[in-house]
Homo-oligomer: A and B are copies of this chain.
């Protein structure tokens, strides 16, 4: 097995384990077992646990950037692309019900640990925020774009947390319909400004 492939396998396994078990609760032994390498070999690829965390954060950031870029490249109105973001909670419903939002739960955990990399993890949330701000500006929200972006992002975190607690599919569906209706009304309002 090539070195790069092993390193990638470690990052992928750690990504999944940090999500499902939490960062602090995941041990080297857990990751090593998932990749099927010895703990000793582990340290050839990463010197510390924090280095793995940084690699996982970098991977998550890159993954989300690629996801957002794919929505932008597919074209469509700003409203349609914001709707793509909203529908993540349905597409990833089963994972969210088991482990919550991968972004929100990591930032929350690292904040509590006062971990040195917590600001780097927060950058993933900031990536979503800034992308949403740009989309709302595109929609014509102007100075309110920041407010609307944070509103949608906050909505997604609330839905994820309650979905994880109560595992209520109907709740998630209703909330998606409601925020999509809100978005529709907002888009209508912005368009009517032009007259």
Contacts and interface: CB of A to CB of B under 8 A. Distances in A.
Interface of A: 20-22, 24-25, 98-100, 104-105, 107-109, 111-113, 122, 125-126, 129, 147, 150-151, 153-159, 161-162, 164-166, 168, 171, 174-175, 178
Contacts of A178: 151
17 contacts: A25-B113, A105-B108, A105-B112, A107-B164, A108-B108, A108-B164, A109-B109, A122-B166, A125-B165, A129-B166, A151-B175, A154-B155, A154-B158, A154-B175, A155-B158, A157-B161, A158-B161
A150 B168 contact: yes
Nearest to A99: B112
A113 B21 CA distance: 6
A168 B25 CA distance: 29
Most buried by B among A108, A111, A151, A165: A165
A125 B155 CA distance: 17
A108 B108 CA distance: 10
B171 A22 contact: no
Contact of A162 (B153, B166, B171): B153
Nearest to A111: B164
A108 B100 CA distance: 7
A155 B158 CA distance: 6
Given A105-B112, A157-B158, 13 more contacts: A20-B112, A25-B113, A107-B164, A108-B108, A125-B165, A126-B166, A150-B166, A154-B155, A154-B159, A154-B171, A154-B175, A157-B162, A161-B161
Most buried by B among A150, A155, A175: A150
Contacts of A151: 175, 178
A165 B112 CA distance: 11
Contacts of A174: 147
B165 A161 contact: no
